[in-house]
Amino acid sequence: DIQMTQSPSSVSASVGDRVTITCRASQGITAWLAWYQQKPGKAPKLLIYDTSNLQSGVPSRFSGSGSATDFTLTISSLQPEDFATYYCQEANTFPSFTFGPGTKVDIK
């Protein structure tokens, strides 16, 4: 099975900050990676798919990059509504797709 790790596990940031979250796969997954945002008590929301494609309706301050085993999610200017937990998900190893453990972004 592919193992996914994320760093940091949590980050404290202020409104307006640039925030970068890293996701690493234990083996190459080409570009089959997505990012989700989850707020407490809510279902996850798809932000980015295929490493860098912005899902419809998602603000352009969110961006993704990477390839093979190393990927990043960047929030260019953190907004109050962005405080949440972020998960990466690989879509390479059918049917055992794996989510990362999550990165919590909270208010500094």
Partner 1 sequence: EVQLVQSGAEVKKPGESLKISCKGSGYSFIDYWIGWVRQMPGKGLEWMGIIYPGDSDTKYSPSFQGQVTMSVDRSISTAYLQWYSLEASDTAMYYCARRFRRYYFDYWGQGTLVTVSS
Q: What is the phi-psi region of residue 26: left when phi exceeds 0, alpha when psi lies from -120 to 50, beta otherwise?
A: alpha
Of 38 and 63, which CB lies nearer to partner 1 in the complex structure? 38
72 binds partner 1 (CB under 8 A): no
* 44 preceded by a cis bond (ω within 30 of 0): no
CA dist list (Å): 33 to 37, 48, 53, 77: 14, 8, 10, 22
Quote the least distance from Cβ 17 to partner 1, whole Å: 24
In the complex, the smallest distance separating the C-beta of residue 35 from partner 1, rounded to whole angstroms, is: 10
List interacting residues with partner 1 (CB under 8 A): 1, 32, 34, 36, 38, 43-46, 49-50, 55, 87, 89, 91, 94-102
